[in-house]
Structure 1
């Protein structure tokens, strides 16, 4: 044989001669690294010359992603997205970009999220630059997060709409909660689900100028089963500060007390939205101005709403009246006005006195202590406290114990199997009540738990 040939893997793929042989073919990925040998033969068929080449085939890489092309992750967790290309260009470079931006977010194939935020959601483009060209593909990051909630109020219909926004966009709702400004619970109200929103219709009040019972904080709670700092259910509050005429709260006492020839303080507690513009005081039906005043605004006061004693934000008006004569102990009416309307409240002022005598109901002995229970009696118009006196039979001097408890206390540090005398009285700013009759009681001889 005389001529030249190309062979690979022991198979002759082309022959020609005597001076030139060529082999044309379409490259495949499988040809990468394949050895091709060119040989020249003499007339006897002996190989007299040979040369080899190894093919390095660069091909368009296929791009894939790990763990997958769509990555779903919860907010504040860590995540990783890897761009994989199966090309054989060892010098290929990989970068990540946010779609529709020129900003490079990562200069290698691994895209790390140390603390995923909802703003990290979107499409990311992996760009692979090889010797045969630049290739790219997109991966999507979906960030799951608990909803943030907006609340809209529609005055004409007295309705509220709870609008959650989160991923996934499917929600469960709890009943609305109505509380005071100080988070005291008032009531739960049924919600109506409308698509991905929840609607509350506030029950109508018969007196449209008296919105006191409808004021307060309305709370919507929604969940898409993604936890937040509030737990599984995210929440939002809406302060419904409806206007209405002034409202006197239940803790304003319609019976108050003063001391003859002293200055007494008459306290009026009320809520006014908007703020009151003025007030007028009447004494036995006649306009009265002989007083000093002070007003404490936007303070915590107690009112009864929906059968509960709760804290609300309101005002305390104090009238300081000098009680010159017995005629000053009478009815005082206070008329408070704002732009919505006017409300009146009447207070009967009585002359204060000593507190009434308490009545001991029961004494329960143990080995070294005695529990005493009593009926407190009349307070005399002022805060009062109680003094319990006790001594062993045969002793001269009394010991005593003072308490602010209205109906019970425990005398401790006593001797076992010992007879004691017990009596008590109450005290207010005016003076002491009379003492009760003495009772005899013996401590026990066995330690009782």
Structure 2
């Protein structure tokens, strides 16, 4: 069975029973169970003024002195409600009402209480006011209107005001009062008063003599490769809008370039199109209808050089490399980094027996110790694997490769084996070796390649050999008679030898 649902339609009403004022939100929909959001207060131009912390259908407007009496409660009030029925992708629908709050006229907070005029010229006093209902009367004290054939004017405009601590635009009026400044006595304070049917309000305004603007002050200059960013502080404008004139030139040029900048609240400007790596002089002044200010102090500044980026990239690349090299060298000197040397040789050797690979005796410590030290002293090229190659029973037929890597492990043989068990790390050619001999052991990994099939052992030149030595195996050595001396010393003097020959 289909259940009929309908999102709420909202009506907002206003009731006033002094001193109470109420806004009521009346939703109608299916189902009729509603949830409300906070009320919103907005200007005629839909600018948010405040959110009212009231999540109900009734909003009580409190009277706040300085706000309500200036009819700041005027504006649009928005109510939002939901019955959990979605419409256009939203759970909440809204209704609004424009509250026509009224009161006596008031002058907005953005009015300038000090204004300027020129002696012997027609000047004006300008004020802005909000009045609902409209103004019924305006007066100024002292009355300067009688000295002028012109009358004041009133224009409906958007005026800037502070409503509930927020700056917003509201509907208001701008009043312009002409003042013919004949003598200095017209430079004084005036009181402007406006009235409507609910009451009146007044504002004091002082008219002062206008003058050229004060000198601006340069605060900061930031150069880049092709521009300079200038920041300055403005002085008093003399009572009229001022324009800033920025001047700059190269140090080697006498002509000044000028740039005009209109008066605003942010006094920053970028000078473009400059030459990299060049010195420039910067200055500025301001001007209004009354004249020019004095010049600011000239500042010398140099634009960035084009090579700065190149140098930066070079440093970015080379510095990490130098740091890495320094760290590796430091670790090597501390003994944390040892050179790893891989030595391999391939010579065909026959197997010792037909069943497999025979054992290879390790003469690394016994035979190589003296040879390595002698080779280093004489700068001889002697590989560290010569002792393996000199093995008589390792004839041609095997491929031998091994590596020698120093390892920091304690020497169980103690200090007495240092001269035998350790030696300087040498390269494959045996040209260099370390003189240090730490208390550590060295290890050699020996691997043999399998014997190639079908290889025949052959001695070249065996069919045409030449005998260089003849050995007579029939001869025997003559043994000397044993000495009857009881001494354990093996030394024999010349007299002993003569005695032995006589005895024969």
Q: TM-score if structure 1 supplies the norm length? A: 0.64
Give the alignment partner of residue 258 of structure 1, picking from 104, 114, 117. 117
Identify the match of residue 344 of structure 1 among 184, 198, 202: 202
User: Aligned pair count?
Assistant: 302
Larger gyration radius, structure 1 or structure 2: 2
1: CA distance, partners of 2:299 / 2:67 = 59
Q: CA deviation at 1:229?
A: 5.5
Q: From the superposition, tell whether residues 421 and 259 of structure 1 become closer, same or farther in structure 2 (CA, over 3 Å).
A: same
Aligned counterpart in structure 2 of residue 186 of structure 1, from 49, 54, 60:
49
Instruction: Tell me which residue corresponds to 1:151.
Output: 12
Alpha-carbon contact 2:106-2:130 (below 8 Å) kept: yes
CA RMSD, aligned part only?
A: 2.1
Q: Which residue, out of 33, 38, 48, partners 1:175?
A: 38
Which structure: greater strand fraction? 1
User: What is residue 429 of structure 1 aligned with on the other side?
Assistant: 289
Residue correspondence of structure 1 range 25-44 to structure 2 within 5 A: none
Structure 2 segments unaligned to the other structure (5+ residues): 313-504
Instruction: Give the corresponding residue for 2:27.
Output: 164
Cα pair 1:372 1:410 within 8 Å, conserved: yes
2:142 matches 1:247: no
Q: Aligned equivalents of 1:350 and 1:234: distance in 2?
A: 55
1:43 paired residue number:
none
For structure 1, the residue ranges without an aligned partner over 5 or more in a row are 1-69, 73-141
SS in 1 for 2:229: strand
Other-structure match for 1:42: none
In the aligned structure 2, how far is the partner of 1:433 from the partner of 1:361? 17
Alignment of 1:275-290 (within 5 A): 275-283=134-142, 288-290=145-147
Aligned to 1:395: 253
Contact 1:353 1:381 in 2 (8 A): yes
1:200 equivalent to 2:59? Answer: yes
Does the 8 Å contact 2:67/2:164 carry over to 1? no
**Is the 8 Å Cα contact of residues 418 and 442 (structure 1) preserved in structure 2?**
yes
Higher deviation after alignment, 228-237 or 266-275: 228-237
TM-score under structure 2 length normalisation: 0.57
Conservation of the 8 A alpha-carbon contact between 1:148 and 1:234: yes
**Inter-partner Cα distance in structure 2 for 1:235 and 1:171:** 12
* Equivalent-residue separation in structure 2 for 1:442 and 1:436 (angstroms): 19
Match of 2:214 in 1: 356
Quick one: which of 408, 411, 416 aligns to 2:268? Answer: 408
**Alignment counterpart, residue 175 of structure 2, candidates 303, 313, 317:** 317
Residues 101-140 of structure 1 mapped to structure 2, 5 A cutoff: none
Q: Distance in 1 between matches of 2:87 and 2:109?
A: 39
Task: State the match for 1:384 in structure 2.
Answer: 242
Contact 2:102 2:133 in 1 (8 A): yes
* Higher-helix-fraction structure: 2
CA distance in 2 between counterparts of 1:145 and 1:267 reads: 54
Deviation at 1:374, TM superposition (A): 0.8
Aligned equivalents of 1:408 and 1:369: distance in 2? Answer: 13
